[in-house]
Amino acid sequence: MSKVKDTWTDQQVETIIGNLLRGGVILAAVVVFIGGVFYLFRYGSAYPDYRIFRGEPTDLRTAHGILADALSFRTRGVIQLGLLLLIATPVARVAFSIFAFLRQGDRTYVVVTLLVLTILLYSLFGGRS
């Protein structure tokens, strides 16, 4: 019986994942909103220019740069931090699934999930080309 208690049912895993995703989205939205309010106070009367593509400055392209910008409370950096948290939310879900499949003793899906996580981390940290 103790074995049954230790493993999670698929339904339990899905409930935890659902809450994890919702928590991540709410946190990201709050950070984006706070950054957005200050951004509008600061730049609201300037003119937008998205017609010509220039690309973001390098500090808004990497996790390290975004964090540094957000900590020095540069408004665009704070918004970008929220967006980074949002992108990280599904990644956290996949990482958690590895843990859940390990507890269920499902080796096939531990491997499958590790593969998905590797692709995601590659895209976040290595996929510049």
Partner 1 sequence: MDILVFTILIWLGSLVAGFLGSLTGLGGGVVIVPLLALVFGVDIRYAIGASLVSVIATSSGAAAAYVKEGFSNIRIGMFLEIATTLGALAGAFWAARLPTSTIAIIFGVILLYSAYLSGRQQRRRQEVDRPDPLATRLKMDGSYPTPHGLEHYHAHSVPSGFGLMFLAGSISGLLGIGSGAVKVLAMDQMMRIPFKVSTTTSNFMIGVTAAASAGVYLNRGYIDPGLAMPVMLGVLIGSLIGTHELVIAKTHRLRIIFIAIILLLAVEMIYNGLTKRI
Of 25 and 102, which has the nearer Cβ to partner 1? 25
CA 49 to the chain's CA centroid: 27
Which token pair is 13?
Answer: 């895993």
Indicate which single residue of 6, 102, 103, 122 sits in contact with partner 1 (rule: CB under 8 A): 122
Using DSSP, state whether 44 is helix, strand or coil: coil
**Sequence-ordered alpha helix ranges (H) in the chain:** 2-6, 10-43, 63-71, 75-103, 107-125
Cβ atoms of residues 66 and 28 within 8 Å: no
Binding mask 40-79 for partner 1 (x = CB under 8 A): x--xxxxxx-xxxx-xxxx-xxx-------------xx-x
Residue ranges that bind partner 1, judged by CB under 8 A: 10-11, 13-15, 17-19, 21-22, 24-25, 28-29, 32-33, 35-36, 39-40, 43-48, 50-53, 55-58, 60-62, 76-77, 79-80, 83-84, 86-91, 93-94, 97, 106, 108-109, 112-113, 115-116, 119-120, 122-125, 127-129
